[in-house]
Amino acid sequence: MVLVLLRVSFLENVCKSRRHGRQSKMAARNPGTELDLEWVESVRVNKPACFRRAEELKVRRGVKKNTQIAWLLKAMTCIDLTTLSGDDTETNVGRLCFKAKQPMRPDLLEAVGMQDRGLTVGAVCVYPARVADAVQTLKALGASHIPVASVATGFPAGQTHFKTRLAEIKMAVEDGAREIDIVINRAYALAGNWKGVYEEVRAFREACGPAHMKTILATGELGSLVTVYKASLVAMMAGSDFIKTSTGKEGVNAILPVGLVMVRAIREYHKKTGYRVGFKPAGGIRTAKDSCAWLALMKEELGNDWLTPDLFRLGASSLLGDIERQIFHGVTGRYAAAHEFAMA
C-alpha cells in the first residue's frame, strides 16, 4: 500500500470540534427575526447567471491527489448518514450507526495520517420510529457525540394534520433526536402565503426545544428560483438552524443552481442579522465528485467558517461508499472491489 501522509489544516476545525463533543458553533443558534414581508417580496434572481455560476463550480473546481483526499475527508465528516426506507429495522439502523462511528477503513485513515483524529460522519438520520434504536446503539458504541437526526412533520409530503406534525417532532426529541429535519407547507409557499409558512416553521422551532431544526424546502416542488430564495429567507426568519434543499423524494432534488440561490440567501441573512444559518443539500448526491462541487460552493460563496458539520451537511445514503472507494484509489493506486469494504 502506498502511504500518503496527510496532515491538512483544512480539517483542523472539524477535528477539534469532534474531540470536544461538538461544542463549538452548535452553541450559537439562529433565534430568528420578525417576518419581514417587504424584504421577502423584494427578492429578484438572475436565472441565467445562476446556471452559469453553477456550471463553473461543477466543471472548473476539480481537486487532485492529496488535496482531493483532504476534501473527501472533509465531505465525509459532513455527511448525514441516512436510511429512510419502509423496511428499516433495528438491525439495519444499528449497522448504519457502526458505519457512522467508523466511516473509513482504519488502514486507509492510517495511510493518510488521520487515524488519531476521531473522524466520524456528521449525524445519523432516520425516521422518528427508529430514533431510539439509533440513540441506544450509538451509546453502546461509545459514540453518543454523534447526533441522531430525525425527519418529521409528515415527511416527505408534510400533508398531515398540523397537530400531528407538532406531536411527531416532540416524540422524536423525547426519544433522543438532537436534530429535526422538518418540511415546509409547499401549498403555502406556492400560493405566496409567507405568513403561513413563517408561523408553521416558528411553531416547529418551538416544538424542537433544544434540538436543532433543519428546514426542508422541497425545492423541486417550488416552481422557481425566486420562490426558493423567498422560502429560504422566511425559513431563516422563523428560526431555522439549517435550510435544506430536498426530501430526496422529489423528481428534482439537490442541484447546484438551487444550492447557489439558497447559500446566497444565507449570506444575505447573515449580513443583515449577524446570525449564521447552516446549509444541507440532500437527494441525488452520490459521488465523491458531487461532494467536492458542494464543498466548493460553500467555500467560495460563504467561506471557511461554513466548512464544518455545524454549518454544512450532505444528506446522503450512498455517498460515503464512493468517497471511501476514491480514497482507497488515492492511497493504493487501484480501485477496490465491492467485497473490500464493509458497507457499500
| Residue type (1 letter), 235 | A
Assign 15 a pLDDT band (cuts: 50, 70, 90): low
Check the CA dihedral 199-203-204-209 and report its sign.
Answer: positive
Rounded to 5 degrees, φ, ψ at 71 are -65, -40
Give yes or no for residue 154 having a pLDDT over 90. yes
Determine the average pLDDT of the residues in 220-224: 96
**Confidence at 1, pLDDT banded by 50, 70, 90:** very low
User: Which of 70-79, 314-323, 329-338 has the weakest average pLDDT?
Assistant: 329-338
For the question of residue 280 being annotated catalytic, the response is: yes
User: Does the pLDDT of residue 5 top 50, yes or no?
Assistant: no
Average pLDDT of span 133-137? 98
Q: Which of 133, 244, 310, 322 is catalytic?
A: 244
State the alpha helices, DSSP H only, in the chain: 12-19, 37-41, 47-60, 65-77, 90-101, 106-111, 131-140, 162-174, 186-190, 194-208, 225-237, 256-273, 288-301, 319-332
Query: Is this structure's pTM higher than 0.85?
Result: yes
Which member of 181, 290, 310, 322 is catalytic? 181
- Asked whether 171 and 12 are in contact (CB, 8 A), the reply is no
What average pLDDT does the segment 266-290 reach?
Answer: 96
The mean per-residue pLDDT over the stretch 171-192 comes to 98
Using CA atoms, how far apart are residues 296 and 307, in angstroms rounded to an integer? 10
pLDDT value at 178 more than 50: yes
Q: Is-catalytic flag, 181?
A: yes
State the pLDDT at residue 2.
Answer: 43
**99, 230, 280, 299: which is the annotated catalytic residue?**
280
Q: Is the pLDDT reported for residue 145 higher than 90?
A: yes
Query: CA distances (Å), 185 to each of 58, 158, 213, 264, in order?
Result: 31, 6, 15, 22
Q: Where are the alpha helices (DSSP H) in 20-158?
A: 37-41, 47-60, 65-77, 90-101, 106-111, 131-140
Task: State the pLDDT at residue 8.
Answer: 47
- Cα–Cα distances (Å) from 333 to 87, 254, 261, 290, 318, in that order, read 37, 31, 38, 21, 22
- Catalytic, 25? Answer no
Q: Read off the pLDDT of each residue in 264-269 and give the average, rounded to a whole number.
A: 98
| Mean per-residue pLDDT over the chain, rounded | 91
Q: Report pLDDT for 344.
A: 47
pLDDT at 14: 46
Residue pLDDT, tens place only, 19-78: 444 434 455 899 999 999 999 999 999 999 999 999 988 765 566 667 889 999 999 999
Would you state the pLDDT for residue 17? 47
pLDDT of 179 > 70? The answer is yes
